[in-house]
Amino acid sequence: GKDLLTLKDLSSDDIMSLLESAIELKQKHKNGEIVTSLKGKTLGLIFEKSSTRTRVSFEAGMMQLGGNALFLSSQDLQIGRGETIADTARVLSEFIDAIMIRTFEHSKIEELADYASIPVINGLTDDYHPCQALADLLTIYEHKKSFEGLKVAYVGDGNNVAHSLMIACAKMGIDISIGCPDGYEPKDFVTAYVNEIAATTGAKVTITKDPVEAVKNADAIYADVWTSMGQEEEAQQRLKIFAPYQVNEELAAYAKSDYLFLHCLPAHREEEVTASIIDGPNSVVFQQAGNRMHVQKALLQAILA
Ligand code: CP
């Protein structure tokens, strides 16, 4: 029912109403207005990998809505010592109202959701990062006021962040162009789904090896890390392969002059993006990070209130 495992779980109308609700909650937060819609509710946060934004945005967001958040490192849970996901899901369902999990294989979150009687939210799996994509959409919407006629270019690794961004754009009718090296394309099952959705919304989906083609006339350029998140061993090889996909002044010059620069963070300056771009006038990366909290508050309210 109310899980968010991937953006496949949401219609474009669902997404639009989350964005509107996020904008309202953000305004209230800025005005110092207290909202207590989640009073008495508890969100458990299971992390099998480290996190700054996901953890703090969910914890702060829950508290701002009058609820509670429990940080559950998998190293401290019995999961880390072999208790099954299924049993963990059933036990946590006895205590709390929703679970957010950051894990590895996407099948793990599916298993958790199958056995939990409470909603499960994806805080990053190997295949998807839906909360990030909602914050990405919110950031684009705040600046461009509409999704009509937009083109978003993602350059780099066709990874979980790219997957969710592609689905988000296709659902909202935004043209999405992925510029990535051979062998680093988005997974076929994601591209197939995105093409299916795009056929109904009119969004144009392009996957190309050419970063210039990807970025040409884009309204937003998106970069993500090349070498973190467990890929440290192949780092040197990746740095070489991805070098032509660095977002720098030369590449960004092909985008529209009022392009937005987006990055899910953490960033590695002078790798996937130059400091001049990420710290420059077109960059909206910290607003984008902040929007994680606002859009997740809207999501939590929709799921739990
Ligand atoms: N963008 C993102 O998910 O950041 P964290 O890994 O810090 O949560």
Kindly compute the dihedral angle of the four CA atoms of residues 192, 161, 14, 37, in this order, to the nearest 10 degrees. 160
Q: Is 53 in the pocket of ligand 1 (CB under 6 A)?
A: yes
Packing angle between helix 160-172 and helix 12-31, nearest 10 degrees? Answer: 100
- CA of 18 from ligand 1 middle (Å) equals 20
- CA of 49 from ligand 1 middle (Å) equals 10
ipTM of the complex: 0.99
pLDDT at residue 75 in the model:
84
User: Which residue's alpha carbon is at the smallest distance from atom 3 of ligand 1?
Assistant: 54
State phi, psi for 116 to the nearest 5 degrees: -80, 145
State phi, psi for 122 to the nearest 5 degrees: -85, 115
Q: What is the mean pLDDT of each run of 10 residues along the chain (305 residues)?
A: 93 98 98 97 96 98 98 88 94 98 97 98 98 99 98 98 98 98 97 98 98 98 84 84 98 98 97 98 98 98 97
Domains of the chain: 7-128+290-304 (3.40.50.1370), 131-288 (3.40.50.1370)
Q: What string of H, E and C letters represents the secondary structure of 175-213?
A: EEEEECCCCCCCCHHHHHHHHHHHHHHCCCEEEECCHHH
pLDDT at residue 229 in the model:
57
List the binding residues: 51-54, 78, 102, 129-132, 160, 224, 228-229, 264-265, 292
Which residues are marked as active site? 102, 129, 132, 224, 264, 292
pLDDT at residue 1 in the model:
63
CA 274, CA 270: separation in Å to the nearest integer?
A: 4
For the entire predicted model, the pTM comes to 0.97
Q: Is 265 in the pocket of ligand 1 (CB under 6 A)?
A: yes
Atom of ligand 1 nearest to the CA of 129: 3
List the binding residues for carbamoyl phosphate: 51-54, 78, 102, 129-132, 264-265, 292
- Tens digit of each residue's pLDDT (9 = 90 or more) over 69-101: 999 988 889 988 899 999 999 999 999 999 999
